[in-house]
Structure 1
Amino acid sequence: MNRSHVISFCLLLCAVQTLMGAEKPTVLSKTVQVPMRDGVLLATDVYQSPNVKQAPVVLMRTPYNKARAKKAAERFAEAGLIAVVQDCRGKFESEGIFYPYDNEGQDGFDTIEWLGKQPWCNGKIGMWGASYVGATQWLAANEHPPGLVTIAPTATFSSFYRNLYLGGALRISLIARWASGNSQKPEGAEVTQDWRGTLLHLPMSEVDNEIGWSIPWLEGMLTHPEHDGFWNRTELTDDIVDLKLPMQHIVGYYDFFSRESVNNFTRMQQEARDPETRRQQQLILGPWDHGSIGRSKVGDVDFGENAVIDAAGENLKWFERRLLGKQPEQDRADVPVRYFSLGDNVWFNATTWPPQGFTATSFYLHSNGKANTSDGDGRLDLCPSTTDEAADRFQADPNDPAPACPVTDKRPLISATWAPVDQRPIEKRNDVLVYTSEPYTEPLSFAGNAQAKLFVSADTPDADWVVKLIDVHPNGFSQNLAVGILRGRFRNSEQQPTLLKPGEVYEITVDLGPIAAQIGKGHRLRVDICGAYFPLFDRNPNSGEGPFGKDTKISTERVYHDAVRPSQIILPCKQ
């Protein structure tokens, strides 16, 4: 081949490559202003492949900057959908004033109604996104907008009260830190550098000012620990069963939204009034916390490559099935429940949550009255006590609350994590009771909702009981699996708290949430009990004064485990 032929061939090759490149569809985007019913304009990005003239739409509404969803939106658009991402009212490029959750239902309705009128929308609309963005889906769906046919809420709530409060205790560091970054900061104001002092501040009603400025909506949340009418705008639990929507729910065991997300799935699958809606619910339940969905490394534990999933890809498969009419690969899109088991690190399929084939099994607490610390005499086994075992006791000091996880240079107090971290430093504290089984000679597997039934007393008008379920590895690593908390005055009701009578013994139930795990051969099962999980939950002043009180009291708390008061952990075990 002579030189001219080589040049001609190269030019021809370049031309072919150019044509091939030109044939490859690219995603185009544009920003439009969508009017709400009160005239406020919300900045909205539309992603569309040029060869797609009309298609179903997937919508995300976010307070965290619509530009951050560009990658996922382009991916959805490349698959044949039209992706729309909108800044919530008062955030980034949108007009108006941001007030958490208050306008999301109506603004979601108005946006979906607007989408349905666009010539490029074929009338079918879905929604996707996590956390606050997941909540915008529930709030919009509850307004019953025309054209909304499916949602995919990841790690979110249908009752904001139950996300923020558990057993009457407040997720204080979560909401305080979120408020510091999502409220209007006055000119010259600075966020506190003393987070410990801020989160310990009393009365609770002043914590917003301790952050650095007045945040009225945060003060409202902090001063309504009862599940009362204050929360009605974000209380959808009784209403969601009227929805007629296929839904995909994704969450991790260590996520603070785990209970709410799993309960949303269970409620829709079992109680939705529409039979077809009950059949079209999916739950993906993994080993993650709120910031690690889809990853293998969570806190101090690497759950292996098997733990890795493509969360956006799971959403896409769901939308391809529900919006584009494609058949699922290997029917995975129609598996109602896919759950990950901690320890053996494998996925299982099930038709319901809790999965079938597991039986509630009691593990009883024992000691000679000295279960304090991991060096104490606390024991855990399958046999209830037949003798008058001495009660265990500890002192819960509000000024030195038991931490949720060890504080280190790399993990300051405000960065306390819900993820699995080594609990051994905390188990050396004298205000922590520790009950441990013998090493297992055969694996112990359980899956479902765990709980503790305890007989307790305190010498103060109020007190907290925190219960942690632990997997003790052969090398001593103490891995938290699940945790629950109950504030004494909320033992009977979220709506009408009742103070404790000092010295009186109460039987309480502490919800530990959804969990699936295997305690491997050579591992030990452990239960820790203490009076705080700070700062992930606010410490209890033990005075019973509520959010406007300033007093604190050291509480002597007791846990009883004798023949007539058999304190126990109840796990759904494989038989």
Structure 2
Amino acid sequence: MRYLFIIAITSLLLSCKSEQQQYHFRTLTEDGKSYEILDSVLIKTRDGAQIAAMVVKPGEIKEPGTSILFHTVYARHDDIKRAKKAADKGYIGIVSYTRGKAWSPDDPIPYEHEANDTYDVIDWISRQKWSDKRVGMYGGSYVGFTQWAAAKKLHPALKTIVPSVSAAPGIAEPTENGVYVNFHYPWFHYVMEDKYLADSLYSDWQRWNNLYLEWYKKGTSYRSLDSLDGFPNREFNKKLDHPVYDNYWQDMMPYKEDFAQIDIPVLTTTGYYDGGQIGAMYYLKEHMKYNKNANHYLLIGPYTHFGAQSVPDKEIGNYTIDPVAQINITETIFQWFDHIFKDASRPELLKDKINYQVMGTNSWGHASSLKEMNNDTLRFYLNDKVSGELFESTFSGKQQHLSLSRQKEEKRSYAEQEVDLADRRDGKQNNYFSPFVINETLTLGNGISYVTEAFEEEFEMNGSYLGELKLSINKRDLDCSMVLYEQTPEGKFFKLTLAYVGRASLAKDKSKRQLLTPGEISSIPLGNVRMSSKKIGKGSRLVLVLNVNKHPHAQINYGSGKDVSDETIADAKTPLKIKWYNDSFIEIPIRRKQ
């Protein structure tokens, strides 16, 4: 018996030894710097898949060191530069890939296995002789998601994450508040048709725009996109099979009580003009909701999706950001790692949990929570009375807004909107798109605009507007959009953040569709609205553009009550008629001068 025990222990030790000796570092000297590099590593997961990875150590460090992990689906041939950057900062830089990417022999599968695979990668790192059993993670978009996937079941070696502009499958990708958005369609080809990236296919915007226009003009089902294209898109279609936030999505990342056990420090970065802000803020809010002691910091400013994970552009949509907003976010991230792993001071900009740049003031604000960003709230009702305030419409000349009123009307009334969902003529789209931050004219997209009175004193708008739409329709569902602007005394329109897009039937519960009853008044709460921060000047007004979605760049909800991906133009039948009631309201979080 003792002999068998010795044999078993010896076999285990030999197995561990062979795993650690399987790869040998090579030395590289470049630009006066020395690196120790492991190329073409394959890490075996518990279910038998193989994860491709590379490791770069600083040449001058011989003791076990701390690892900075970047786990991505975006496999590129020059990814060693990213690992070297971590090594240049005194860490062991590691880039690992979604299963099936780079030199992994498996089939590429984004999203589904990242929670388990990142755990196994971190476990492998922690068992290496060169590791001090401490790992930090960073990166943006999909790489932000992989960090939250890793946090679903925390490995003891994972000590901090720095997710930027994080994807949140089922919450913000490929849907936003329940509405599928077309630009995700070619993304699956981009990451799955090649062991690296199908750049030429993905960047063929003419092809994709032609596809969307063909689908829009023909009125075929959303599920038919790949049939029209003549190129199967299996993974996209799989996502269409899960139109609500069900177990399929919940298993990919922390869900509800999972957030309670995330007790490591987190730094989130995102931007007011970041499409990924919905996901980034979802994680932050859920973390703070379920873990009252969450050690979670936020850095947010007037940044786009790419700017908020690296170095922001100085100009966004013809708006020049304030000088204090022109920071190097990558450097801030490594300062954070030095704070966590080397006992350095916290990055200077992170003076409190919530750190936000107030556009138009050349200053940063700092608060202990999202709630503490504000000291007042302005509620405005969507009044159907004409405001008398003229404005220049982009396509229709002089127009008048309806009113955003501080007082609720005693008598219920409504503004009526009719949308023929079958009408595909030019000029008949209902679209919220506006490419600029500062606009000389207001793009209505066949929607309705509401305006406040001019403000008598300046204040800061800080945070996400909330509210509730009271409406009745002659169908069973609709998708709507809202965009909030500051209208300056000079008549320009400053877009405060990207549009809100949402599905009425999922507004109360994203995991269960609740269809509307035709002809009855329904209350639709606004959730997952992007936040912003800006000084609203004296004499300015707020303008809200409200609309229904009908355009070639997102799913069209015909209101039949069927799975929206299966609806066609034949389900449009009679035009959609909406009554927007005057007890609908939005609430604007503000900070007044003390």
TM-score range, shorter chain: 0.7 to 0.9
Residues 1:103 and 1:32: Cα distance change in structure 2 (over 3 Å): same
Aligned-pair CA distance for 1:66: 4.8
Other structure's SS at 2:475 match: coil
2:506 corresponds to 1:490: yes
Other structure's SS at 1:319 match: helix
Q: 1:34 aligns with which of 42, 47, 53?
A: 42
Q: Which residue pairs with 1:11 in the alignment?
A: none
Question: Which structure 1 residue ranges, 5 or more long, are not aligned?
Answer: 1-20, 407-416
Q: Which residue pairs with 2:537 in the alignment?
A: 520
Residues 1:31 and 1:334: Cα distance change in structure 2 (over 3 Å): farther
Q: TM-score, normalised by structure 2?
A: 0.81
Deviation string 1:204-237 (CA, Å, 9 cap, x unpaired) is: 2222333442222210212321222332332422
Counterparts of 2:542 and 2:158, CA distance in 1: 46
Q: Is the 8 A contact 1:34 1:41 kept in 2?
A: yes
2:122 corresponds to 1:112: yes
Q: Which residue pairs with 2:11 in the alignment?
A: none
Other structure's SS at 1:77 match: helix
Deviation string 1:337-386 (CA, Å, 9 cap, x unpaired) is: 21122343531111111334422320122233799977134122322224
2:237 corresponds to 1:219: yes
Q: Is the 8 A contact 2:472 2:520 kept in 1?
A: yes
Q: Which residue pairs with 1:420 in the alignment?
A: 437
2:223 corresponds to 1:209: no
Residues 1:242 and 1:527: Cα distance change in structure 2 (over 3 Å): same
Aligned-pair CA distance for 1:160: 3.4
Counterparts of 1:22 and 1:221, CA distance in 2: 45
Q: 1:147 aligns with which of 148, 152, 157?
A: 157
Residues 1:509 and 1:396: Cα distance change in structure 2 (over 3 Å): farther
Counterparts of 1:509 and 1:423, CA distance in 2: 31
Aligned-pair CA distance for 1:192: 4.6
Counterparts of 1:199 and 1:182, CA distance in 2: 23
Q: Is the 8 A contact 1:58 1:126 kept in 2?
A: yes
Other structure's SS at 2:42 match: strand
2:441 corresponds to 1:432: no
Counterparts of 1:522 and 1:39, CA distance in 2: 64
2:283 corresponds to 1:283: no
More deviation in 320-329 or 370-379? Answer: 370-379
Q: Is the 8 A contact 2:373 2:463 kept in 1?
A: no
Q: Which residue pairs with 2:274 in the alignment?
A: 255
Counterparts of 1:90 and 1:44, CA distance in 2: 11
Counterparts of 2:420 and 2:335, CA distance in 1: 49
Q: Please give the residue correspondences for 1:3-18 in structure 2 after superposition, counting only pairs within 5 Å.
A: none
Amino acid at match of 2:166: T
Q: Is the 8 A contact 1:34 1:114 kept in 2?
A: no
Residues 1:522 and 1:46: Cα distance change in structure 2 (over 3 Å): same
Q: Is the 8 A contact 2:271 2:301 kept in 1?
A: yes
2:98 corresponds to 1:76: no
2:291 corresponds to 1:272: yes
Q: Is the 8 A contact 2:355 2:367 kept in 1?
A: yes
Deviation string 1:388-444 (CA, Å, 9 cap, x unpaired) is: 6553434253544322325xxxxxxxxxx6x736383522x4x31111223334223
Counterparts of 1:23 and 1:467, CA distance in 2: 52
Q: 1:97 aligns with which of 94, 97, 107?
A: 107
Aligned-pair CA distance for 1:57: 0.4
Q: Which residue pairs with 1:233 in the alignment?
A: 251
Q: Which residue pairs with 2:334 in the alignment?
A: 316
Other structure's SS at 1:73 match: helix
Amino acid at match of 1:221: K
Counterparts of 1:388 and 1:116, CA distance in 2: 64
Aligned-pair CA distance for 1:185: 7.7
Amino acid at match of 2:437: P
Q: Is the 8 A contact 1:26 1:50 kept in 2?
A: yes
More deviation in 357-366 or 197-206? Answer: 197-206
Residues 1:389 and 1:268: Cα distance change in structure 2 (over 3 Å): closer
Question: Which structure 2 residue ranges, 5 or more long, are not aligned?
Answer: 1-28
Root-mean-square deviation (Å):
3.1
Q: Which residue pairs with 1:402 in the alignment?
A: 430
Q: Which residue pairs with 2:404 in the alignment?
A: 380
Counterparts of 2:137 and 2:97, CA distance in 1: 14
Counterparts of 2:263 and 2:418, CA distance in 1: 50
Other structure's SS at 1:573 match: strand
Counterparts of 1:157 and 1:346, CA distance in 2: 28
Counterparts of 1:339 and 1:64, CA distance in 2: 29
Residues 1:118 and 1:404: Cα distance change in structure 2 (over 3 Å): same
Residues 1:220 and 1:249: Cα distance change in structure 2 (over 3 Å): same
Counterparts of 1:567 and 1:134, CA distance in 2: 36
More deviation in 174-183 or 243-252? Answer: 174-183
Counterparts of 1:370 and 1:333, CA distance in 2: 43
Other structure's SS at 1:108 match: helix
Other structure's SS at 1:527 match: strand
More deviation in 71-80 or 219-228? Answer: 71-80
Counterparts of 1:51 and 1:109, CA distance in 2: 29
Counterparts of 1:219 and 1:390, CA distance in 2: 39
Q: Is the 8 A contact 1:461 1:501 kept in 2?
A: yes
Counterparts of 1:364 and 1:23, CA distance in 2: 63
Q: Is the 8 A contact 1:297 1:304 kept in 2?
A: no
2:484 corresponds to 1:469: yes
Q: Please give the residue correspondences for 1:35-50 in structure 2 after superposition, counting only pairs within 5 Å.
A: 35-37=43-45, 38-50=47-59
Residues 1:97 and 1:361: Cα distance change in structure 2 (over 3 Å): same
Aligned-pair CA distance for 1:326: 2.1
Amino acid at match of 1:426: T
Q: Which residue pairs with 1:179 in the alignment?
A: 188
Residues 1:28 and 1:334: Cα distance change in structure 2 (over 3 Å): farther
Q: 2:378 aligns with which of 353, 361, 378?
A: 361
Deviation string 1:270-326 (CA, Å, 9 cap, x unpaired) is: 5327x4xx2x22111111221332333223322233222212111101110112222
Counterparts of 1:22 and 1:61, CA distance in 2: 25
Other structure's SS at 1:218 match: helix
Counterparts of 2:537 and 2:379, CA distance in 1: 19
Q: Is the 8 A contact 1:442 1:521 kept in 2?
A: yes
Q: Is the 8 A contact 1:228 1:495 kept in 2?
A: yes
Deviation string 1:116-162 (CA, Å, 9 cap, x unpaired) is: 12222111111111111111111123232241111111111455344
Amino acid at match of 1:509: P
Aligned-pair CA distance for 1:543: 2.8
Q: 1:505 aligns with which of 515, 521, 524?
A: 521
More deviation in 494-503 or 103-112? Answer: 494-503
Residues 1:473 and 1:333: Cα distance change in structure 2 (over 3 Å): closer
Amino acid at match of 2:475: T
Counterparts of 1:93 and 1:421, CA distance in 2: 46
Amino acid at match of 2:185: A
Q: Is the 8 A contact 1:253 1:515 kept in 2?
A: yes
Q: 1:326 aligns with which of 344, 352, 375?
A: 344
Residues 1:326 and 1:199: Cα distance change in structure 2 (over 3 Å): farther
Other structure's SS at 1:529 match: strand
Q: Which residue pairs with 2:8 in the alignment?
A: none
Counterparts of 1:26 and 1:535, CA distance in 2: 52
Counterparts of 1:144 and 1:364, CA distance in 2: 45
Residues 1:270 and 1:490: Cα distance change in structure 2 (over 3 Å): closer
Other structure's SS at 1:102 match: coil
Aligned-pair CA distance for 1:329: 5.2
